[in-house]
Structure 1
């Protein structure tokens, strides 16, 4: 009897353990575990810099850009879209606009997938590159054209510095449309770029005359007058004698200097002049960039 009871209890224990094991196996099955784990984790958050990589969606101070502040051309990211000849022709026009203190202008060319808010992109690029004079009568005269390249067309936008209020939205929008239509008819981004820049040069010069910087008046030095009469003649003779003595000293000293290996070369000073401090200029600067403003008022 005792053996039977003991055997029964053992069977009940084994059955209970089996049921418990099956229940745990069902609860912690892979599908159930994955579902429970998924519900316990928060949704993934996009990287904070992802939006800044798209032009127009960034924020100050760099707006997601990493360009050098000084560029070889006024047109940026042109390599895959326009020829170097067209970029050089644009430089000639924009160098002169900059040298005349009318507008400090850059063009940014981007594919559509790298641009978010297109108006913001133009304005942000103007701010990032600090285009425009930082002070003076033509302060904040920065300007940017943005050319967005799409598969079958281009879309042109602009950003205007606070110092160019005379450039109106209808005039600038007409320039944008003219460039877009040129591309549609010619399928040439070179032609569209030149149409845009030449039109802007005309509009800007109609509104703003070149700024002529004041030139310093040369100072006149009054030389002392020689006394007249015998005293004046004596003074002239003394000066001639001193000059003759100095000349004789040079004739005596120069051979000695030559024998000792010293070369007298008054023209070999090595001074090469001072370049244009404003960027731009008639001869064209080696690098181009902003003058420190970057204050923009509007865009389209």
Structure 2
């Protein structure tokens, strides 16, 4: 594997990848024991390179995503970036592309795994989701959008303060910063106040509360937080979800497929496009002060 940009090689090595070099013109960017590639053509010309871990947050490097996929290289995006919907669409539109995996890591968290396992027990989608203490920032918002899409289905609308919100505060007084509307009719209200993060999913007949501190049915028993699935390599201090994502991508070397037979599986460019579209709608809502349909 070749790294491009500000990519930590430790999770890649933990996942079993061998680091061949870095895509950079700067001699001080060379990883220990690895070489340098001056441009994407050099990477594509090396028959011993199977994959590139690309810093999608670097605008100069993110534009290489369609080219690398078209050239047959597997791509790992360690974070939820790039978040330019047009660029992600272009990368998805490549004819006969190699696989790509995206570091949307919230789905690998024990509390999120527990929520996913509990949903089938209810037999219906949530009618409302309230989120308290969610971290601020684009990456954190991307993670929450990915989880909401997994729990509630397609997000069709977004609204952010100072636009009028479905509710200004949550019970207890936490201020709502933004909200999502889903095709199933669920409303998702998000507050950054307080902490640690806690998500409350309300169903017609039950309510589930979950976060890093634990999970429980309201008025019922606590739920044990689920571990990562068997077969995920030890993280050795790296983010476990990123190690799991990188390890799953390795299954696609030589023309194979990323395993998707058991949740969670790695996010792909389709998931990234969902996130990019929703975040774009939230930005538009904050600017225009109105509810925005997710395009």
Structure (1/2) with the larger strand percentage? 2
Q: TM-score band, normalised by the shorter chain?
A: under 0.3
With the length of structure 1 as denominator, give the TM-score of the two structures.
0.24
Q: Name which one, 1 or 2, has greater alpha-carbon Rg.
A: 1
Structure (1/2) with the larger helix percentage? 1
Structure of greater relative contact order (alpha carbons < 8 Å, 6+ residues apart): 1
With the length of structure 2 as denominator, give the TM-score of the two structures.
0.25
